[in-house]
Structure 1
Amino acid sequence: MATKNVRSIEEQVEDWCKTQLRSIKYYTKTESINSEIEEALRKAPSKSGGEGANYPDIKCFLETSDMRRIPVMIEVKGRKGDLIKCDKNGDICNLNKDKEPHYGNIAKYAVNGAVHYAHAILNNTESYKEVVAIGVNGYDTSIGRIYEMGVYYVSKENLFVPKKVGEYTDLSFLLPEYVNGFIKDIDKLFLTDSEIELKKIELEDDIERRLKVINQKMHDEDYGQKIDVGQRVQLITGLVMAGLGVPGKVSPLSVSDLRGDQGEKNNDGQVIMNKISDYLSEKQLPRQKIEMIEEVLRVVFIHSKLQEPKDGESALHTIYADVRQNIIPFLTGELHNIDFTGRLFNVLNEWVDVPDGAKNDVVLTPRYIT
């Protein structure tokens, strides 16, 4: 009988997992672990790539005596062969050849689904920088039931690359009496120099792709109006400055700060300009330089009508929501040292008319310089 026609024992496998976790607090797929994580799972594309929410089969926290709380996402399957799908290099295969999400793998395989949930949390929360992703699979054979699992550690410090923790036959490592040993194991997991370089190139390719998507939306009027080519550079640059903030001094602009007000001092364009002004001031630039930059950016944020709301939402609000989700994460925390500048200029070469642009390639400044 073909494997795909064999009855799934997923429910029994899930019960097996829950039995092992009975001494700790865990959450089922319909229970909320907390509002921040649930919102992150809701915002991310579903396992199948649609707009539905994500529902890990089991969720819990690893909690240590020093108040470290690591979310654990467990995905369960119940057929032989459904544990994990890796590429030829042995890495979790959650992307296709075009570096787009491979939703077929994410939906079918337990580990791939768990890693998908981990990425959703890391990409869409502020509080969590590490997640444990566990895939559990079970199937019946002539000699009895077989259980198998894959345990991976995913963190921002490791540039979102899933690192296998070890070989496990049950979930006892999540129990309080064993958690400190497990934490020591995951704290030994670091990327090699070659892994770091490959991942940074992948991230740089990704941010260039995302910038091109935003550029196309500006061209196609997806933001409610077509954005003039001559304004796009200033627009993205200004939104990035507003979205970065200055740690301890200026909070990053929140999408909810752009409420579509129409007052002279409170419209979305002025709100963004205030953040930009504070950002520039804290960078201790000469006053003359700050005034020059602000004058250029006012053309976009104050005098372009992008701040005028339509149905309660301005084009600035819509564009910034895209920039906040797709661009800002590459410029903060552990991802800040990728070559954003070089890739940005690659895209800018398409946005503006550069003399002899077809003849002159952009020279990428080495990453340690940028």
Structure 2
Amino acid sequence: MAKKAKKTVKSIEPNIVDLANGWMKQYKLDYKLEQESLNDAIDKALADYFSKNGGSGANRPDAKLLLRDKKLHDWPVLIEYKGYKDKLVKLGSDGQVENKKTNGEPLYKNINSYAVNGAVHYANAVLHFTNYTDIIAIGMTGYRDEQGEIRHEIGVYYVSKKNFGAGQRVGDFDDFSFLAPKNFDQFITQVEALSLTPEQREQLKAKREQEVIASLIKLNNDIYKNEEPKLSEKDRVYLVAASIIATIGVPGKVEPLEKEDLKSSTEKGNTDGEIILRKIKAFLNEKHIPEAKRNTIERSLQNTLTGEIINKVENGESQLRRVFYKIIDDIGIYYKIGLSTDFTGKLFNEMYSWLKFSPDKLNDVVLTPSYVATLLVKLARVNKDSYVWDFATGSAGLLVAAMNEMLIDAKRSIHSPEALLQKELHIKAEQLLGLEILEDIYMLAILNMILMGDGSSNILNKDSLRDFDGHYGFGKTDEEFPADAFVLNPPYSAAGNGMNFVERALSMMHKGYAAIIIQNSAGSGRAAEINKRILQRNTLLASIKMPGDLFIGKSSVQTNVYVFRVGEKHQKDDTVRFIDFSEDGYTRTNRRKASINLRDTNHARERYQEVVDLVRYGRSKLHFFTEKEFYEGHIDPTDGADWNQSAPIDTRPTLADFKKTVSDYLAWEVSNLLRRQANTEDGLGK
């Protein structure tokens, strides 16, 4: 007997399309179908973004709208239909729309097969390539039940720079009436009320961080392998910096540079490099970057952008235009959605690795992880009124962390919008100062601060030990910078592993606090003479032993964090808090293909806050740590080599130790007695 053929489930997508579009007709909504144009910007974004099958183009939502709310804010609405049961949305284990693999690559199967996943994919195209920052993604599917009746499901998601493009479910909806003009403002109120929990934000940040790394590795490898003639490491870094600055724009002042603006013209004054450079100059001018700094940035980038070879046109395209396209396509999304400290840290750590340094400088160019930067800032007691400086600023990660802490404190304590705005401007323009001697890294610091809201005014390309007099670099150049907070990760090859930077900075301060992370041999003899001089004017408050794998993959040095009170001589009876922070709660790996190389496996965030509290308030704040990791002791101010102490181990035996020893001995004796008796009996029986 022949097997009965398996019944194939037929898609009812045409019925779903008819039902949904019928609702929109009923509400008199001006919707556009798959092949129709919504507007040039959105049409082009959908064409430029990678498709649901890979490659570019062919991103065609089944329906799309552009709706305006009562605040005159435009909301793109992108709709995708399916016609099968259980094809509404595919979520990952974290509860988020699963459109990417763990390595950051697109998950085409999900994007193709599920209605919401497809709509969120389209929304990210708009987020990536337009100025729209808030998009509604709608998925709808359906099936026929046992009686042949159509059953439908609707998924409505909010995709925004606020949720890093991941999307958030808005609520339950039975039809599209929430899009009707009379209901739309109420719906938008519901959307704007959405928020992410701290845990969700951390999860999404971790995902995006890995995507940044994967995208930058791909970009660097692509340029290195496929671009002829070859571009140097410095050129590759400068091209990324130039492309980002040119495409940020200033609302209402400077239009972001679009890909189609580069024509690969050979006309003098209109080469691709000259077009990018003009856009950068306009941006810097509108951002009111000081003239001397503008000139430095423009001069540094000009050499790369206006070179004859990179602008040479072959087959209708310059190498510069081709590389610009790659940069925007690969990493554009990450600053479109609003780069946070975590993202810029990953961005600049990876770009750092593109630059080549001599072997003796490798340990000097390791960036501070963002969570360690935040620790240093909190240990230095930074608040909205602090004046913070860094004498070896690298890519400005420590100053970015300080700026964030200052802005958070300002928002917490200032309740007048106008006063808050003025304070934020003052923080960025006058309360941060950084020095970086390496020009390549200085350029990254400038770009970092511009991306983070522009606290770049007093980022100086100077030798902090020889050329810096303690004054503002721009603006109030005749005034001393009134530093009362100092944060530092110095070059470890410098004198005393870098303690000479600490001595120099603290000698120019009158009050405040300092927190530095440094190779721990600086506190055990390598910098003894410098340390003794430092303690003549400053008090060592704490010595914190950091995890040995903190800089895994970058450097293998053991580090300590030292915390000082500035302007008070250290007395021999001053208490120093020694903390063993070897177990900080994070598990680190160094695998390029790992989805996440940093995992919070043991209350890491809570442990970092506890360290801050222990340094400030003492043992009353012990929770995750014990007396084995926390010790209050003293140092000899005339020694300089006794800064790395640990809790003393009490070797005196207790009564319990004695009882255990006696118990173990008696057990051993009984065991021997029984064994001898057994052997004797065996001998008698033979």
Q: TM-score of the superposition, structure 2-length normalised?
A: 0.49
- Say which SS state the counterpart of residue 137 (structure 1) adopts: strand
Structure 1 residue 101 corresponds to structure 2 residue 106: yes
Shift of 1:329: 4.2
Letter in 2 for 1:41: L
Query: Which whole-Å CA distance do the structure 2 matches of 1:44 and 1:273 have between them?
Result: 26
Structure 1 residue 130 corresponds to structure 2 residue 134: yes
Which residues of structure 2 form unaligned runs of 5+?
374-399, 403-448, 450-686
Does the 8 Å CA contact 2:104/2:210 hold for their aligned counterparts? Answer: no
Letter in 1 for 2:94: N
Structure 1 residue 45 corresponds to structure 2 residue 53: no
1:140-180 C-alpha deviation (Å, 9 max, x unpaired): 12143321121111122232131111112222222223223
Match of 2:242 in 1: 238
Query: Which whole-Å CA distance do the structure 1 matches of 2:287 and 2:35 have between them?
Result: 46
1:183-236 C-alpha deviation (Å, 9 max, x unpaired): 2211211222222233233223222222222211221134x4321234322332
Q: Percent identity?
A: 35
Structure 1 residue 22 corresponds to structure 2 residue 25: yes
Query: Which whole-Å CA distance do the structure 1 matches of 2:296 and 2:108 have between them?
Result: 47
Change (3 A) 1:312 1:364: same
Structure 2 residue corresponding to 1:270, chosen from 255, 269, 274: 274
1:209-268 C-alpha deviation (Å, 9 max, x unpaired): 22222211221134x432123432233223333333455554433333433233453333
Match of 2:230 in 1: 226
Shift of 1:109: 0.9
- Say which SS state the counterpart of residue 133 (structure 1) adopts: strand
Structure 1 residue 75 corresponds to structure 2 residue 80: yes
Structure 2 residue corresponding to 1:368, chosen from 386, 389, 401: 401
Structure 2 residue corresponding to 1:353, chosen from 337, 356, 367: 356
Does the 8 Å CA contact 1:330/1:338 hold for their aligned counterparts? Answer: no
- Say which SS state the counterpart of residue 64 (structure 2) adopts: strand
Match of 2:319 in 1: 315
Change (3 A) 1:36 1:262: closer
Shift of 1:105: 0.7
Change (3 A) 1:216 1:4: farther
Letter in 1 for 2:323: I
Change (3 A) 1:284 1:92: closer
Structure 1 residue 9 corresponds to structure 2 residue 12: yes
Letter in 2 for 1:300: T
Structure 1 residue 154 corresponds to structure 2 residue 172: no
Query: Which whole-Å CA distance do the structure 2 matches of 1:263 and 1:251 have between them?
Result: 22
Letter in 2 for 1:12: N
- Say which SS state the counterpart of residue 163 (structure 2) adopts: coil
Change (3 A) 1:248 1:336: farther
Structure 1 residue corresponding to 2:264, chosen from 233, 239, 260: 260
Change (3 A) 1:304 1:21: same
Letter in 2 for 1:347: E
- Say which SS state the counterpart of residue 112 (structure 1) adopts: helix
Change (3 A) 1:150 1:56: same
Does the 8 Å CA contact 1:71/1:132 hold for their aligned counterparts? Answer: yes
Letter in 1 for 2:9: V
Change (3 A) 1:22 1:306: same
Query: Which whole-Å CA distance do the structure 2 matches of 1:317 and 1:72 have between them?
Result: 32
Does the 8 Å CA contact 1:204/1:338 hold for their aligned counterparts? Answer: no
Query: Which whole-Å CA distance do the structure 1 matches of 2:70 and 2:174 have between them?
Result: 26
Query: Which whole-Å CA distance do the structure 2 matches of 1:255 and 1:337 have between them?
Result: 25
Query: Which whole-Å CA distance do the structure 2 matches of 1:95 and 1:243 have between them?
Result: 25
**Within 5 Å, which residues of 2 pair with 1:161-310?**
161-222=166-227, 224-247=228-251, 249-281=253-285, 287-303=291-307, 305-310=309-314
Query: Which whole-Å CA distance do the structure 1 matches of 2:120 and 2:206 have between them?
Result: 21
Does the 8 Å CA contact 1:28/1:58 hold for their aligned counterparts? Answer: yes
Range 229-238 or range 101-110, more displaced: 229-238
Range 248-257 or range 117-126, more displaced: 248-257
Change (3 A) 1:281 1:32: closer
Query: Which whole-Å CA distance do the structure 2 matches of 1:205 and 1:230 have between them?
Result: 23
- Say which SS state the counterpart of residue 38 (structure 2) adopts: coil
1:263-312 C-alpha deviation (Å, 9 max, x unpaired): 45333333333344444455555655544444433332234621222223
* Greater C-alpha radius of gyration: 2
Query: Which whole-Å CA distance do the structure 2 matches of 1:319 and 1:298 have between them?
Result: 16
Change (3 A) 1:180 1:290: closer
Query: Which whole-Å CA distance do the structure 1 matches of 2:184 and 2:205 have between them?
Result: 31
Range 254-263 or range 212-221, more displaced: 254-263
Query: Which whole-Å CA distance do the structure 2 matches of 1:113 and 1:202 have between them?
Result: 19
Match of 1:331 in 2: 335
Shift of 1:31: 2.1
Change (3 A) 1:83 1:323: same
Q: Please give the root-mean-square deviation of Cα atoms over the aligned residues, in Å.
A: 2.8
Query: Which whole-Å CA distance do the structure 1 matches of 2:207 and 2:322 have between them?
Result: 27
Query: Which whole-Å CA distance do the structure 1 matches of 2:205 and 2:267 have between them?
Result: 43
Shift of 1:102: 0.7
Letter in 1 for 2:401: Y
Query: Which whole-Å CA distance do the structure 2 matches of 1:323 and 1:182 have between them?
Result: 36
Change (3 A) 1:132 1:266: closer
Does the 8 Å CA contact 2:116/2:139 hold for their aligned counterparts? Answer: yes
Query: Which whole-Å CA distance do the structure 1 matches of 2:235 and 2:334 have between them?
Result: 22
Range 264-273 or range 88-97, more displaced: 264-273
Does the 8 Å CA contact 1:114/1:135 hold for their aligned counterparts? Answer: yes
Query: Which whole-Å CA distance do the structure 1 matches of 2:230 and 2:319 have between them?
Result: 10
Instruction: Identify which of structures 1 and 2 has the higher relative contact order when contacts are C-alpha pairs closer than 8 Å and 6+ apart.
Output: 1
Shift of 1:108: 0.7
Does the 8 Å CA contact 1:244/1:328 hold for their aligned counterparts? Answer: no
Does the 8 Å CA contact 2:79/2:119 hold for their aligned counterparts? Answer: yes
Query: Which whole-Å CA distance do the structure 1 matches of 2:6 and 2:144 have between them?
Result: 11
Q: How many residues align?
A: 367
- Say which SS state the counterpart of residue 75 (structure 2) adopts: strand
Which residues of structure 1 form unaligned runs of 5+?
none
Query: Which whole-Å CA distance do the structure 1 matches of 2:43 and 2:107 have between them?
Result: 22
- Say which SS state the counterpart of residue 181 (structure 2) adopts: coil
Change (3 A) 1:102 1:173: same
